[in-house]
């Protein structure tokens, strides 16, 4: 009679989780430092998917970021990327684009960096129609430095430097971009992931100064001070308040603190204009 031997169960092989967009990321720097519920990871993920959908290799594009939570994006991208000084992401990106016109250059930064100390650079790059893709993750605050009032903080919002509510009128970013000369202007929230990715695909393939604003929760620096609940509650509010109006008049897409007011999202502008480099080349060749 054969002897029965208890067979030890085989140990399951360890499975290491991989990010689906790992080829575009510096995986040795993960997990990222962004707070739980922050929309920055969502925006960066959508950007990587846009690159993948368009077949970009690591040598085909570069990301430039400024200072702040959004500025960390450049450090997670595996291509040649630049984490620049405060407010200077667009000048660095402009120099990179003019030095290597074939390179796709994306500026990935925040509302404080791009529109406070960097505001002048933004409007003049748009005026010149420099061939740049600009992604602004707008969380209404200086999230990294403690939740101070920024250029997009809504009126009446509570902030570290506005304990009685903000008295300043905030920038309407799509209107500012369109007025300054951008050829593509869109706004989505971090809830609109597929639409955000579609907008990112558009800007990385369209010539000229293109701009996408991404409204994002900052549960630590902004949401907590303004009783907006957890990040999931903010996303539910985006679902309730967001209204898609493609082609909307950008002068009418201001964002208010009123929880019953609309957040108008969509593609507001999409036109064709010669870029700075094209105008320069045409004029120089005409003088030869």
pLDDT tens per residue across span 78-115: 999 999 999 999 999 999 999 999 999 999 999 999 99
**Distance of alpha carbon 132 from alpha carbon 71, whole angstroms:** 17
Tell me the pLDDT band of 30, cut-offs 50, 70 and 90.
Answer: confident
What is the set of domains in the chain, with CATH numbers? 33-287 (3.40.50.970)
- The predicted structure's pLDDT at residue 144: 85
Are the beta carbons of 60 and 239 closer than 8 angstroms?
no
Question: pLDDT tens digits, residue range 131-170?
Answer: 999 999 999 999 888 889 999 999 999 999 999 999 999 9
- The predicted structure's pLDDT at residue 173: 98
- The predicted structure's pLDDT at residue 15: 55
CA atoms within a 13 Å half-sphere pointing along the CA-CB vector of 193: 10
pLDDT exceeds 80 at position 280: yes
Give me the residue label for tokens 């505001």. Answer: 119
pLDDT exceeds 90 at position 244: yes
pLDDT exceeds 50 at position 272: yes
**Mean pLDDT over each residue of the chain, to the nearest integer:** 92
pLDDT exceeds 60 at position 251: yes
For residue 285, give both structure tokens.
């060749």
**Distance of alpha carbon 62 from alpha carbon 198, whole angstroms:** 19
- The predicted structure's pLDDT at residue 164: 96
């Amino acid at each position: 009679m054969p002897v029965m031997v208890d067979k030890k169960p085989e140990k399951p092989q360890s499975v290491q989780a991989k990010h689906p967009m790992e080829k575009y990321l510096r995986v040795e720097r993960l997990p990222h430092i962004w707070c739980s519920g922050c929309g920055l990871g969502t925006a960066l993920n959508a950007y990587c998917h846009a690159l993948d959908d368009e077949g970009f290799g690591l040598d085909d594009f570069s990301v430039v970021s400024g200072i702040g939570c959004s500025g960390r994006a450049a450090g997670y991208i595996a291509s040649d990327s630049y984490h620049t000084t405060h407010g200077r992401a667009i000048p660095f990106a402009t120099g990179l684009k003019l030095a290597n016109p074939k390179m796709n250059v994306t500026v990935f930064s925040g509302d404080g960096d791009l529109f406070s100390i960097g505001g002048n650079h933004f409007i003049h790059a748009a005026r010149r129609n420099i061939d740049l893709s600009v992604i602004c993750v707008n969380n209404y605050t200086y999230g990294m430095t403690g939740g101070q009032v920024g250029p997009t903080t809504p009126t009446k919002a509570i902030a570290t430097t506005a304990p009685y509510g903000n008295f300043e009128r905030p920038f309407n970013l799509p209107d500012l971009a369109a007025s300054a000369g951008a050829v593509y202007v869109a706004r989505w929230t971090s809830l609109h992931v597929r639409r955000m990715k579609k907008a990112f695909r558009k800007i990385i393939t369209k010539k000229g100064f293109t701009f996408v604003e991404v409204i994002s929760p900052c549960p630590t620096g902004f949401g907590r001070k303004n009783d907006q609940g957890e990040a999931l509650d903010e996303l539910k509010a985006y679902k309730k308040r967001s209204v898609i109006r493609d082609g909307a008049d950008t002068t009418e897409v201001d964002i208010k603190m009123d929880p019953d007011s609309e957040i108008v999202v969509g593609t507001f502008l999409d036109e064709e204009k010669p870029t700075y480099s094209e105008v320069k080349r045409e004029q120089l060749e005409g003088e030869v």
